[in-house]
Structure 1
Amino acid sequence: MDVIAQARAAFDVLAAGVDTVITRNPRLAVDWCQAALGLLAAVPDGGRQQADLLLSMARAHARIGQPAQCRAALTRWSALVGPDQELKEAADILAFLSLADGRFTHARVILRGAVGHPAAVNTGSLRLELAATAFWDTRWSWSDAALAVIKEEQRLQRAHALVLLAVEALGREEIDHALRLVKDSADLVDLRTDEELAERPVIMSDLGWAETHLGQNQRARRRFLRGLLVCEASGQYLPVAPLQAGLAELALRQGALTTSADRAERAVSAARSLGHNDHWAMALVVRGEVALASGRLDQAREDATCAMRVVDLDSPQWRRARLAYAGAVLADGDSTGCVRVVLDVAGDELGELPVWERGRAADLLGRAERAAGRVQHAVRWERVRARYEALLDLPEKNAAGPVQVSRREFEIARLVSEGRTNRQIARLLEVSHKTVETHLARIFAKSGVSSRAELAGLTVANRVVARPRA
């Protein structure tokens, strides 16, 4: 057997195996592609095979979560086949690269064009990817045809479509419907092995965040942790930053600031190591929220500013970062600036934000207006906040209830969450700093926390509430 025949035989074995491993072990797929490309050097007229391998390599890098390597392989592929083939054969990869840069509108243009392309393949998957761009951006409506075109045996795709439908229902404030859809999705996911979940690990992130939005915190935590195990075992790191950010968010809600800070740092590290700017922005937002709850105002402002800088304005993470920035502005004492920032990002009726973020926006507006002495405006926003908090008041059976404190203690807890010192609080409330210390000791005893940082975390997470008037 001559050298060319040996190389061709070895190439055929590797090339045939790439598509079978790419969904569950993309790192192995990359290694096989590289080995096969090396063998092609000895094979004449191997241009078409080289192009196929480069496209598979780009897709494998996308599954791993490596935008730079993905872009390099796609550029080499496009040079061989011509740019006219991109929309037909590589729309999913082009959309991944746009989303990684936080360019959501561009990604939607690509996916819409591909779905309507007469020679497009896998249009069902492309429709699902198009729908998934609305997960964090419920202002953008999509068709539930994404679910209709998925076959019965495609259980993970069905589970993902159910999550997207749940978020759409949540955007319409149909909470019971959203809960049912999330449960149906979870039932499909829970029956899958980790190896099966490796075919679509992003479902663990999106389902976990949907459960988080709906107050299903314990289920979400289990989902995020299992998702990390699936990613580690399969070598797919694209969902790692959202998974870690989800765990950071849940820990912050519980007032566990040390745990939350650790998870947030892991999220930032994961996103930066991959060069995924949209996930980096998401991680920075959570890290900034932890910093604000811990009284580190400069860090909170810096993280929010950086998050806004690394993605386009049409990224949902830009809006989340802008809202986080408003919180830092208010904590710095600029109530007018806070109102301006919140209304700029949320709109006059908060309709530019997803339902699950409107309560927080209204809370910032109410606190800012009250601090500025505009009581009528404050009362209006406090009512809006109460409405959205009631809408999403879905405590789990085993979740600890909120800590009830007196109205004066609640006032002090709020000021602590804004990073105020005891003496600053005393001046604002016109009491002695000893009185503030006494109230703080009572709050610590009632809440079970032992530090100002933990108390701030509970307060920011709305786990400290004023006792109703008798």
Structure 2
Amino acid sequence: MTGVEPASSGGPLEPLVGRNCALDLFDRALCAARAGQPSMLEFAADPGCGKTRLLRELAVRAGQAAVPVLAAAGRDGDRMRRLLTSLVGPAAHRAEPVTGASVLLLDDLHLAPPAVAALLARLAQAPPAGLLLVVAYRPRQMPGWATAALGGVVQLNRRTFTLSPLDPAGVAALLGLPDGRAGQRVHRLSGGVPRYVLAYRPEALDGAVAALRGLPAELPFEVTAAVQLDVDALEVDQRQMLEAVSVCAEGFEPTLAGALAHRDPAATSDLLDGLVAADLLRTDPALAPTLRFRHEVDRAVVYRSLSPGRRRRLHAVAADILRDLGHPVTRYAEHLSAGGQGTDPAAADALIEAAESPRTPRPDAIRWLTGVRRLLPDAGSTDPRRVRLDFATADALVGAGRLRQARTLLQDLSRRALPGEDQRVRALVARARVERLLGRPFDAYALLLPHLDAPAGARARFDLTVEAAVAGALCGAAGAGQHACELGRLADKLDEPGCGTTAAVVRCFVAAHVDCGFPAEEALSRASSEVDALADDELARHPDLLALLAWAEHLLERDRSALHHLDRALEICCRAGLVALTPWLLIGRCAVTCRLGSLDRALSEGEDAEEVAVAMGVEPLVGLARAHRAIAVAWRRGPAAARQLAETAVLDAATRRPNWYDGVSQRVAVRLRFLAGDRVGAAPALLRACGGVELGQVEAAGRACWASSLAEMTHRAGRRDEALHWLAVAGRHAQRLRLRGQSAMVRISRARLTLDADPRGAAELAGAAADSFADIGWRLDEASARLVRARALCDVREWAAAEVELAEARRIADLVGSPPLRRAVAGVQSRAAGAAGRRPDSAARGELTLTRREWDIARLVAAGASNAEAAEQVYVTVKTVEAHLTRIFRKTGVSSRAALAALLATGAVNYRGPA
């Protein structure tokens, strides 16, 4: 900031996000300055938090208020000294006093030369009238003299404000993204610091998958320039040391830094101390004496400024030192790869070992293995190192979401004459898993089925049976239950850590999908506890485990536990760069959060899931993401608005073999079409989507729900006997699994079918269903059940009880933000108000009368007046209005203003005269 009008010389302004409190503080101080009161504002923040950007905004605001602005920055010490001299020097005392307000902006005060100390102290002690002094600095680098000068404030009203990093919503706003997972990911990577947020912007704007990749290949110019200013301010030796250690992305110890920069221990210590004082390096409290760059963005700017040859030399030195010191291979693998040492067979083996580690991000593993493949001399297709390299590459490609490339490589592996049956089974299982992740569980199961009795080792047979059970469950194979039962016996024989837990999770997942007679309820609790006890590294080695457990919990109605495991799985996937499972996990979050009533989160998760699935080219998962998002859209905007989205989810489903993903999408599309009013052929279409009369394409945990839907559709079509049949089917499935939510869905369907014939019985059924939904946290279903109960209670003239149910349904609608649900509540209220016999018995006898005052207040409140407005109209206090309303509600039997308005509209209430 070197001009009189800083904003005019700074180019276009970035959006200012999350700084409203600072702006309000400045506006108040500016008003005081215009009244002649001098004051000082201090803005302290770490590098990149937007101090300069804020001061430019303040300059604009002052200019709009016609207040003169003077500005200087600590980097330009001469200008700051001249500016301060003009205000407090001898010439300033001889000049005529300046009248009116003025603003002085001093940026980067921590860089100002000590020569301005006396001038700054004099200004703080005797400021001109109406001066607003605004200073910004980095507290870690603030010199003692500057702190002392500001501490001598006598005449200034001094306020200090710390600029904190942005929260996830602020990060999303700065990037121009919806407040979803991409914004949260960038927040974690950047720490919410605006400069670092902008560094990730090119990738973040490319979508959810790009946001998982980290920094873009090209950093924005303004970010690079800001970091380069700090680097250019260093001494030559310090800059050389910083460049040398920039090859250490994971941090470094002083010994390694000295070797890289060719400095002795004493010189190394002094140089590192200087870089820490400059706040370019920071100590790692968890790994003392490890040092790291202030942020990965700063390291990337310095590292990318190095010449390619110097980078290779530094990496080679770092690899040799770390290997000689006995560090694990994952610590120096990047140095081996970047140092061009992959031609050495030992180095190649080390890189393959590092790539196989669950701690290694999949993109890094692919890069290392690609380098090994390129640099190693040609080897035979059955060479052990080549086979190991291909398996590691396929695993890394799958993890990174490059499923079709992985499938091609695994097909090639399967055709080779691999040594040993275990190797052949391993290639087969990996290939089947890829087919399942591509949304083709039928193809995966068909690959595995002929080899289930292969003469392989115990571990290979276990892995084969795990994949067969999961794929079989997803394509509705009858043998999936048998495979799940076999898993328990194989795990007992193996007696390896983790096998028992894997078997328990897979058996619960299969039990949620097919009837296998397995008691999932107790096993699910045990499996959840065992998985929670596993470390993140172990779960990253077996990434399907958390996903299968979470989906089993969701299907078996343990949604909050499912949400916990989905969150943990996504964290692990983000950290390890595992993209392949991301859409399935995000769809799970969409389904769970929607069922729990968090519609905004459900919509955001569904959009992210669809984006990742589209990027991966997995059409069944694209459809599943759209279907679950359509459910949330239906609650937010109505079935008609959601119908089109749901129908796009099933456009290509007919071209694929039947599978669980497409089955869900088709059922949701038919259900939304029915709810939107298009009921012709709905029941036959839903029956086809369910796999026929046996509901073979529906997961076991959801059959009661979809059988209930068939009952409602056939009842609406006038086929009462068929409806009763499907109700009986739904009841049998609910009884078999004893899930509270499914049982409640059967009750509410039965209530809808019997509403006209037996409203009192329907009210009892709907009440029991509402209580069950409330207990398990399904808010939207609870509200729907309460609406059915309210309608039934109105039919039996129990107005007060109906009003209670309507009020609770309206509360839920407001809580979750569902306008269609609010309209449904209003519709039931209107129907009740207009029904014959709306008046309670007392009204029928002419006893429902109000006093004149009560009548006036009732009409005002029904017209929308607040208590205060009604009190003003009838010349009484608010307390009196509240007392009258209490009596009015008691007399009429209603409990809300909306119900009172509906009651007055019927003419059921009168007043008894002038009393």
Q: TM tier, shorter chain?
A: 0.7 to 0.9
Give 1:18's aligned residue: 352
In the alignment, which of 58, 61, 80 is matched to residue 397 of structure 2? 61
Superposed displacement of residue 68, structure 1: 2.6
Contact 1:256-1:454 within 8 A present in 2 as well: no
| Counterpart position of 1:242 | 584
Q: Which residue of 2 aligns with 1:318?
A: 662
- Taking a change above 3 Å as real, the CA distance of residues 193 and 397 of structure 1, as seen in their structure-2 partners, is farther
Matches within 5 A, 1:404-443: 405=786, 407=788, 409=790, 443=809
Q: Report if the CA contact (8 A) 1:338-1:364 is conserved.
A: no
Show the counterpart of 1:291. Answer: 633
Which residue, 702, 716, 738 being the options, matches 1:357? 702
Give the CA deviation at 1:174. Answer: 5.2
The answer as to whether partners of 2:342 and 2:375 remain within 8 angstroms in 1 is yes
Secondary structure of 2:504's aligned partner = helix
Instruction: Give the Cα separation in 1 of the matches to 2:729 and 2:561.
Output: 28
> For residues 290 and 283 of structure 1, what CA distance do their matches in structure 2 show?
11
Alpha-carbon distance, 1:147 to partner? 2.9
**What is the distance in 2 between the residues matched to 1:384 and 1:115?**
34
Residue 393 of structure 1 is matched in structure 2 by 740
Which amino acid is 1:392 matched to?
L
Q: Which has the higher helix share?
A: 1
Task: Find the counterpart in structure 1 of residue 723 from structure 2.
Answer: 378
What corresponds to 2:859 in structure 1? none
**Structure 1 position 340, deviation (Å):** 0.7
How far 1:192 moved relative to its partner?
0.9
Q: Bigger CA drift: 86-95 or 198-207?
A: 86-95
Normalized against structure 2, the TM-score is what? 0.42
CA spacing shift, 1:169–1:72, aligned 2, 3 Å: closer
- Could you report, residue by residue, the CA deviation over 1:134-181 in whole angstroms, capped at 9, with x for unpaired residues? 3434553233222322333331x4323212222444533858x20111
Match of 2:677 among 321, 333, 343: 333
Paired residues of 2:549 and 2:565 also in contact (CA < 8 A) = yes
Distance 1:195 1:8, change over 3 A: closer
CA apart distance, 1:8 = 7.3
Deviations 1:84-129 (A, max 9, x none): 9995552123213322343323212222334444568823211211
Match of 1:216 among 542, 551, 558: 558
1:218 positional shift = 1.2
The 1:218–1:91 alpha-carbon spacing in structure 2 relative to 1, beyond 3 Å, is same
Alpha-carbon contact 1:308-1:318 (below 8 Å) kept: no
Shift of 1:330: 0.8
In the TM superposition, what whole-angstrom CA distance separates every residue of 1:246-277 from its partner, at most 9, and x where no partner exists? Answer: 11111211222221111111111222222233
For the 8 Å contact 1:102–1:312, the answer to whether it is kept is: no
CA contact (8 A) 1:288 1:303 kept: yes
Identical columns (%): 20
Identify the structure with bigger relative contact order (alpha carbons < 8 Å, sequence gap 6+): 1
**Which residue, 434, 437, 440 being the options, matches 1:97?**
434
Counterpart residue type for residue 369 of structure 2: C
Q: 8 Å contact 1:15–1:32 — kept in the other structure?
A: no
Whole-Å separation in 2 of the counterparts to 1:456 and 1:266: 28
Residue 230 of structure 1, CA deviation: 1.0
Change (3 A) 1:337 1:305: farther
* Count of residues in Structure 1 that have an aligned counterpart in Structure 2: 425
1:125-164 equivalences in 2 (<5 Å)? 125-141=463-479, 142-143=482-483, 144-150=485-491, 151-155=494-498, 157-164=499-506
TM-superposition CA deviations, 1:163-202 (whole Å, max 9, x none): 2222444533858x20111112112111111122111121
The one-letter code sitting in structure 2 at the alignment partner of 1:297 is A
Please, what TM-score do these two structures have when normalized by structure 1? 0.78
Q: Is the 8 A contact 2:622 2:649 kept in 1?
A: no
Which of 449, 460, 463 is matched with 1:122 structurally?
Answer: 460
Instruction: Verify the 8 A CA contact 1:254 1:457 in the aligned structure 2.
Output: no
> Given residue 126 of structure 1, which amino acid in structure 2 is its aligned partner?
L
Counterpart of 1:14 in structure 2: which amino acid?
A: A
Shift of residue 280, structure 1, vs aligned partner: 2.7
- Work out which of the residue numbers 369, 373, 396 in structure 1 matches 2:714: 369
The residue number in structure 2 matching 1:199 is 541
Q: CA deviation at 1:458?
A: 11
Answer yes or no: is the 8 Å Cα contact 2:398–2:406 preserved in 1.
Answer: yes
Point out the structure with max Rg over C-alpha. 2
Q: 1:180 to 1:335 in 2, by over 3 A?
A: same
Q: 1:187 aligns with which of 529, 540, 560?
A: 529
Q: Report the Cα distance in structure 1 between the residues aligned to 2:627 and 2:373, rounded to whole angstroms.
A: 41
**CA apart distance, 1:15:** 2.6
The one of 283, 289, 300 equivalent to 2:643 is: 300
Cα distance in 1 for partners of 2:516, 2:451 equals 31
Distance 1:191 1:451, change over 3 A: closer
* Displacement of 1:73: 3.6
| 2:610 counterpart (244, 263, 268) | 268
- Secondary structure (helix, strand or coil) at the match of 2:541 reads coil
